Amino acid sequence: MGSLQLLPPTASAHAADMDWLFAALLGTSAFILLLVFGLMILFCVRYRKNSKVERGNRLGRTWRVEVAWTTATFIAFLGLYFWGAGLYVDIHSPPKDATDIYVVGKQWMWKIEHPGGQREIDTLHVPVGRPVRLVLTSEDVIHDFAIPAFRIRQDALPGRYETLWFTPTEVGDYRLFCAEFCGTWHARMGGSVVVMEPSDFQRWLDSQDQGPSLAQEGEALFRSYGCSGCHGDAGTVHAPRLEGLFGRPVPLEDGRTVIADDRYIRDSILMPKAEIAAGYPPIMPSFVGQIGEDDLLKLVAYIKSLAGRTADTTQAGSVERPAQ
Amino acid sequence: MTTATVTGKPDEPVVATRNYLTEGGVTLRSWLLTRDHKRIAILYTLSITFFFFVGGAAATLIRLNLVTPPGIFTPDIYNRLFTLHGVIMVWFFLIPSIPNTMGNFLIPLMIGAKDLAFPRLNLLSWYLYVGAGLLALFAILIGGVDTGWTFYTPFSSLYSNGYVVLALAAVLAVGFSSILTGLNFIVTTHRMRAPGMTWYRLPVFVWSNYATSVIMVLATPVLAITLILVAAERLLKVGIFDPALGGDPLLFQHLFWFYSHPAVYIMILPGFGVISEIVPCFARKPLFGYRFVVWSSIAISIIGFFVWAHHMFVAGISLYAGLVFSLLSYVIAVPSAIKVFNWTATLHKGWISFDAPMLYALGFIGLFTIGGLTGLFVANLAFDVHVTDTYFVVAHFHYIMVGGMVSAYFGGLHYWWPKVTGRLYPEWWARIAALLIFFGFNLTFFPQFILGYLGMERRYYSYPPEFQAWNILSSAGASVLAAGYALPFFYLGWSLFRGKRAGSNPWAATGLEWQTSSPPPTHNFDRTPTVTRPPYQYRPEPEPQDV
């Protein structure tokens, strides 16, 4: 049996900020509690039935008191709201240089894929001091990737990509939980987040199976699923080229413009008729049920890796190929 | 002590010769086919007490399992236990508790009416409740449900192996019981007030139940629709919530919380009503800021419809939705705070006595304040990202629901016990129970706030060793709490037969319900009362002797 621990480990910059917010919430609550309890106890003792204390001049016009305490509480509440909202905006704004790590939840394990192709289950290795962005999805029900030492968590939903980012500040092993009830072994769906010195982390990466990177695997899939038949160099139909696409705005047939992010790529593979790129006939078939979440992530990683390239659509066959 | 000294008019007969308990026969048939709101309230009280103990037994087993991880139950059994606890406590205890027992009994008495507007509908509502309850028990006995009371999709619609559809049907049926009760209360409050009983002369208890009824009638149909959609996906594989079938899992959460957040106010608003009756009576002072208390209930019932997505800050809603729903959640905290301040101010310069109902009411104010303040924590966006789905949330809503609502229920039960039964309960036993419940409750649930911040997740049958010390404290508290809840069952039962006769108004209270005999006659009042004054015109007790 452990001792009576009061705070979880604090292992990220956000975790330290959160503890300050916690302190502010506690402080405000303690003030209100002391006020209410103090007055209650004072009144209960002073004005108990048998006490002979003077009770004249009761508060008459109550609305002034009411307006005063309503306004005071509301202003205090607003301060807390903005503080929490500010931090929430922060944890929804990953820095541009964050490393993407892909996480797939399934009953009852977390499958993690690093950009270099390293895979792990229920353990996430990350370097200290570097921002990491997790791209989360699920193969079955809703799960939730929770790391109390970083004070963050995010649901992993089937059929969607959600993201979560953090910058670890302390080397160590921290608990990882599934926080959304997902069936029989929900309580066992967890493990640890291992924060390492960057050099140790690099050694760890190198010691893992040196398979192809996610993008390279994605490129192989791009051909085996037949995507390259239309979107590739030898494409015979009028399909959008994917080089330089990722992260750019895409004008749609219906007049809207969307950013080509993970979600857009994924949805375009599964539901190509939902958001049709302007100027292209909607002839692509849906790949629902044919491509699993693992492969979708690889395809997205591949298309993402094309972001820095430019397509030369005038000269079929002359476009540089990504390195094998 | 109040109970002994002030017992209505001295020349009054000790027991009313005509009362609803004996008038109209004492056969089982006369009870099961009754249309008297008071008898239906008794039927509800008996059945709700039964379900309270069923849900409580499940809670006991949960706390027992969490003493020594990995516990004594398999995960599948544990998952069924917390689902059973949630479903029974939410729909078969908390939602109907005060409205269907005390509301049913007291609203006609408080407004000077002979009965509710639709007596037959009232009886139908009880039969729906009982039928739904039996269906839920049947689902549990043949194998149970493991989805949690929240039935999140696509787990509930495609992956769970439990008897989900049966449980959904039970909740659907009990929902109709709520709707009928709400409808009945709304019409009764509008149409059946005695002459002179203007809206601002209504006791706050009636206002609170009115606000509750509005939510019941408007929100429950959304629950019904949602449950039917889940059943359709589960049985017919219609794609609504599961992305594999082309659905959207977040749609379920939006629909579910659109009902279930207002439902939280269904559970707590009637409790506000009870406390607003008890505090003035035992402080011998009018309620401070009556109109503010009334309108804060109405404000809560309206704003309560616009905060649902604060349950979903990490579920995948947009950043902007999060910002808006958090702000609205802070806004709804204000009317709740107003109430706490007004109850406290009511004590100022009063003549306070500490009979059991008042102890429960003071306990309510304390525990509700803690529950409400921690509501500000979980409504806070960044903070919620750390604690949602942890024991912090569990502790928060138990402070509101158990610390608040159940305290109010027991407070009301003791306060109106003499009116309902015609007998006084044993005062000292009642005070001991009130204190046991207060301390047992805090010992059970306060450690859970700390556990939650440490990162202990909900719905875990087992947990890492560093959480064990707090869990042991919590389970120890639960056993004190269980003793506290069992006590009233015995001494109230005893008082039914041996308790002192109460007289019509043992608390020297002002409401219309105290102006008729205890227990009241079937038609409540021999002559329709005429109301000439606002409620809570309490005078200090010593005054009549001085004059």
Q: Is B541 on the interface with A (CB under 8 A)?
A: yes
B380-402 residue pLDDT tens: 999 999 999 999 999 999 999 99
B111 and B194 Cβ atoms separated by less than 8 Å: yes
Note whether A165 and A234 are same-domain residues. Answer: no
B155 with A183: Cβ contact below 8 A: yes
Q: Which residues contact B46 (CB under 8 A, 6 or more apart)?
A: none
Look-up of token digits 């516990």:
B71
Residue of A2, A182, A188 lying closest to B465 (CB–CB): A2
Within-domain flag for A253: yes
Note whether A121 and A229 are same-domain residues. Answer: no
Residue of B337, B350, B382 lying closest to A21 (CB–CB): B382
Note whether A71 and A195 are same-domain residues. Answer: yes
pLDDT of residue B101 exceeding 70, the answer is: yes
Confidence of residue B452 (pLDDT cuts 50, 70, 90): very high
Quote the domain boundaries for residue A161.
9-38+65-210
B146 and B77 Cβ atoms separated by less than 8 Å: no
Within-domain flag for A318: no
Q: Tell me which chain A residue has its CA closest to the CA of residue B157.
A: A141
Note whether A133 and A265 are same-domain residues. Answer: no
Q: Number of structural domains, chain A?
A: 2
Q: How far is A315 from chain B (nearest CA, A)?
A: 39
Q: What is the CATH number of the domain that holds A108?
A: 2.60.40.420
Q: Bin B214: left if φ > 0, else alpha if -120 < ψ < 50, else beta.
A: alpha
Residue bearing the bigger pLDDT, A267 or A233: A267
pLDDT of residue B441 exceeding 80, the answer is: yes
Within-domain flag for A311: no
Q: Look up residue A212 and give its amino acid.
A: P
pLDDT of residue B23 exceeding 80, the answer is: yes
pLDDT of residue A1 exceeding 60, the answer is: no
* End-to-end Cα spacing for chain A: 53
Note whether A127 and A75 are same-domain residues. Answer: yes
**DSSP letter for each residue of B327-362:** HHHHHHHHHHHHHHHHHHHHHTT--B---HHHHHHH
Average pLDDT, chain B: 92
Confidence of residue B544 (pLDDT cuts 50, 70, 90): very low
| Among candidate residues A153, A182, A210, the one where a domain is terminated | A210
- Give the residue-averaged pLDDT of A220-240: 81
Note whether A16 and A163 are same-domain residues. Answer: yes
B413-428 residue pLDDT tens: 999 999 999 999 999 9
- Give the residue-averaged pLDDT of B60-69: 95
pLDDT at residue B546, rounded to an integer: 39
Residue bearing the bigger pLDDT, A318 or A98: A98
| Among candidate residues A210, A244, A270, the one where a domain is terminated | A210
Which domains are assigned to chain B? 2-546 (1.20.210.10)
pLDDT at residue A84, rounded to an integer: 95
pLDDT at residue B16, rounded to an integer: 55
Note whether A160 and A254 are same-domain residues. Answer: no
pLDDT at residue A2, rounded to an integer: 58
Within-domain flag for A324: no
Which of B407, B394, B313 is CA-nearest to residue B82? B394
Q: Tell me which chain B residue has its CA closest to the CA of residue A81.
A: B380
Q: What is the CATH number of the domain that holds A238?
A: 1.10.760.10
Q: Which of A174, A186, A261, A286 is best to mutate for the B interface (most B CBs within 10 A)?
A: A186
Look-up of token digits 């979600």:
A263
Within-domain flag for A54: no
pLDDT of residue A320 exceeding 70, the answer is: no
State CA B380 to chain mean position distance.
25
Interfacial B residues in 322-341 facing A (CB < 8 Å): 322-323, 326-327, 330-331, 333-334, 337-338, 340-341
Give the ipTM of the model, two decimals please.
0.89
pLDDT at residue B330, rounded to an integer: 93
A43-90 residue pLDDT tens: 999 999 888 888 887 776 677 888 888 888 889 889 999 999 999 999
Beta bridge partners of A136: A103, A162
Neighbours of B405 (CB within 10 A): 28
Within-domain flag for A296: yes
- Give the residue-averaged pLDDT of B59-71: 95
Give CA torsion, residues B394, B399, B401, B407, to 10 deg. Answer: 150
| Among candidate residues A160, A182, A210, the one where a domain is terminated | A210
Note whether A187 and A261 are same-domain residues. Answer: no
Interfacial B residues in 79-98 facing A (CB < 8 Å): 79
Note whether A71 and A26 are same-domain residues. Answer: yes
Q: Over pLDDT 90: what percentage of chain B?
A: 88
B376 with A77: Cβ contact below 8 A: yes
Confidence of residue B194 (pLDDT cuts 50, 70, 90): very high
Note whether A27 and A160 are same-domain residues. Answer: yes
* Number of A–B residue contacts, CB under 8 Å: 264
Q: Which of B161, B344, B386, B396 is best to mutate for the A interface (most A CBs within 10 A)?
A: B386
Note whether A161 and A14 are same-domain residues. Answer: yes
Q: Which of A4, A41, A49, A64 is best to mutate for the B interface (most B CBs within 10 A)?
A: A49
A101: phi then psi, degrees, rounded to nearest 5: -125, 135
Note whether A228 and A124 are same-domain residues. Answer: no
Average pLDDT, chain A: 87
B482-506 residue pLDDT tens: 999 999 999 999 999 999 999 899 9
Within-domain flag for A53: no
Within-domain flag for A44: no
Confidence of residue A231 (pLDDT cuts 50, 70, 90): confident
Please, where are the H alpha helices in chain A?
Answer: 13-46, 62-91, 198-207, 214-224, 228-231, 262-270, 293-305
Q: Sign of the CA dihedral B98, B87, B404, A20?
A: negative
Confidence of residue B296 (pLDDT cuts 50, 70, 90): very high
Q: Is B4 on the interface with A (CB under 8 A)?
A: no
B289 with A66: Cβ contact below 8 A: yes
